[in-house]
């Protein structure tokens, strides 16, 4: 899990945040895209709305049989805005590139991931 504060600085709602942070070394056999949850109410984040800052948690699921590395390395991905692309002459965000990395120790603690029941 990786916690972040996100703000959509565009004019439309988007799910581009799913591509903004990725594992540098994905685990074979699992989806390399994370599931993103809102911290305020623990719901799945589908789209981030313009000008709205949200604290979120990115979650990657490892298989129980996977050997965990000692550190997880994440890549921060940026894209450039083009008012017109080369194919459709439509605006959008293109040319993804790695602009930074985060490396954190990785610990397996399933007890802290399960919400306490009343």
In a domain, 117, yes or no: no
What is the rounded average pLDDT of the residues 41-69? 88
- Within a domain: residue 40? yes
Residue 47, in any domain of the structure: yes
Q: How far is CA 89 from the centre of its chain?
A: 28
Output the pLDDT for position 111.
52
Instruction: Kindly report which listed range (8-22, 37-51, 63-77, 98-112) carries the lowest average pLDDT score.
Output: 98-112
The pTM for the full model equals 0.79
Q: Which domain holds residue 28?
A: 2-111
Task: Please give the tally of structural domains in the chain.
Answer: 1
Q: Identify whether 37 is part of a domain.
A: yes
Picking from 25-34, 55-64, 72-81, 95-104, which range would have the lowest pLDDT averaged per residue?
25-34
Closest CA to 60 of 77, 48, 75, 47: 75
pLDDT value at 4 more than 80: yes
Annotate 31-68 with b (16+ C-beta within 10 A) or e (fewer): eeebebbeeeeeeebeebeeeeebebbbebeeeeeeee
């Amino acid at each position: 899990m990786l916690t972040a504060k996100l703000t959509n600085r565009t004019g439309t709602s988007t799910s581009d945040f799913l591509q903004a942070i990725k594992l540098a070394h994905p685990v074979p056999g699992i989806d390399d895209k994370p599931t993103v949850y809102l911290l305020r109410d623990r719901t799945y984040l589908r789209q981030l709305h313009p000008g709205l800052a949200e604290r979120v948690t990115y979650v990657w699921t490892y298989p129980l049989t996977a050997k965990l590395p000692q550190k997880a390395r994440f890549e921060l991905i940026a894209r450039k805005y083009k008012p017109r692309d080369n194919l459709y002459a439509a605006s959008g965000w293109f040319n993804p590139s790695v602009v930074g990395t985060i490396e954190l120790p990785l610990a397996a603690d399933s007890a802290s991931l399960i919400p306490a029941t009343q």
